[in-house]
Amino acid sequence: MSQGLFTRTHERGPVRDQVSSRAWLQAMLDAEAALAAACAEAGVVPAQAAAEISAACADVGAYDERELGVLAERTGNPVVGLVAAIRAASPREFAAHVHYGATSQDIIDTAAMLVTSRAISALMQDLDGCAVVTADLAHLHRDAPMIARTLLQQAVPITFGLKAAQWLHGLCVVRAQLLAVQERLPAQLGGAAGSLDGYPDAATGLQIAEMFAARLGLAAARGPWHTLRYPIGDVAGGLATTAGILGKIALDLLLLVQNEVAEITMALDRRGGSSTMAHKRNPVAAVAARSATMRAPGLAATLFSAMEQEHERAAGAWHAEWLTLSDLLTCVGSAAAWLHDALGSVRVDEQQMARNLAALGTGAAPHGVTTLIDRALADYRTRDHNDQPTTTNEGTN
């Protein structure tokens, strides 16, 4: 991707590469190859045709993204030009079998699900990294007393371990939710108007749709969802919730690192300098994480607003999803990457926490907080064995 003025700040982490134009093109080629193979398996196209088409789809570098983008401007989507290019790259006698029985939306929707699945896997790297650090903080500072704050006012004693355990609990919940969303991502195959009319009969079409999904590692939908955008809503909700949890943690860090509070510090590096105040060391990573999460609700809202689509094919709403979905995945991935960085730089000042607590004149934290910390840590430790809820129906894993 090009490196502009804001790219390194707003597109941090591995997710951005999974939603690039090249990644989308790769996903479309994967979809076309899987479709040909599924059609051959069902006996509606020759096996040799599927092999040749798969070979033509094997090298993403053989296709010019920019040229396909120019063609998309004329046709309304990039699949028309891509299908023509794949046919040109296939032996003439098999060219007619490219894109067999499908419509452009089948390929783009399936590519969107592949892109989303791959981006979620990339996002998990930093989301899991955040969980590792918060688990360590909860364990190391489980008994460090501090003052809780409600409505931004000093409240009752807790421990920093409990605060970190609450962060961990939120991270575990959204991790389980995103993995569940990823598992449900469905392939799309319906043909021109969602009736599978491009195949000998509907039963054969459904069989091909199931084999198509299986080859791509996607779920098999019960039927075409061309204008039933529940998968997009599912993704938007999961990502928006994840952004909310990441943003909450980033905001807590920003409040705790204030000079007036100073209960944590962040390790100094080359970041954080001020253009006018040499003494300042701004918490850049936490600020950048929060800025990314604040973009997520608007992007999710655009995807939700686009769910109302006309009849059997949308006139504009579907098209509005493409870049919005990529942007939402990017900003949530960026938030996770920045927060991972921020959490890794946290240094807890237990003495300052004790001083702030003593100034309030209250007692020690209640013993019950250790039970809550232990529960959060236990849920976290069992997540790799079972990504389903372990103790409640809230999604904690």
Catalytic residues: 274, 313
Cα–Cα distance measured from residue 353 to residue 351, given in angstroms and rounded to the nearest whole number: 5
Cα–Cα distance measured from residue 391 to residue 131, given in angstroms and rounded to the nearest whole number: 18
Q: What angle do CA 118, 338, 23 make, to 5 degrees?
A: 25
What is the Cα 192 distance to its own chain's centre? 30
What is the Cα 70 distance to its own chain's centre? 28
- Indicate the DSSP class of residue 92: G
**What are the distances in angstroms from CA 223 to CA 111, 157, 183, 187?**
17, 54, 17, 10
User: Is the distance from CB of 302 to CB of 383 less than 8 angstroms?
Assistant: no
Q: What angle do CA 49, 55, 58 make, to 5 degrees?
A: 140
**Radius of gyration for the alpha carbons in the chain, expressed in angstroms and rounded:** 25
Cα–Cα distance measured from residue 56 to residue 69, given in angstroms and rounded to the nearest whole number: 19
Cα–Cα distance measured from residue 134 to residue 169, given in angstroms and rounded to the nearest whole number: 9
- Indicate the DSSP class of residue 96: G
Cα–Cα distance measured from residue 68 to residue 79, given in angstroms and rounded to the nearest whole number: 8
Cα–Cα distance measured from residue 86 to residue 31, given in angstroms and rounded to the nearest whole number: 12
Cα–Cα distance measured from residue 328 to residue 303, given in angstroms and rounded to the nearest whole number: 9
Cα–Cα distance measured from residue 376 to residue 381, given in angstroms and rounded to the nearest whole number: 9
Cα–Cα distance measured from residue 325 to residue 242, given in angstroms and rounded to the nearest whole number: 15
Task: Report the sign of the C-alpha dihedral through residues 156, 161, 167, 173, in that order.
Answer: negative
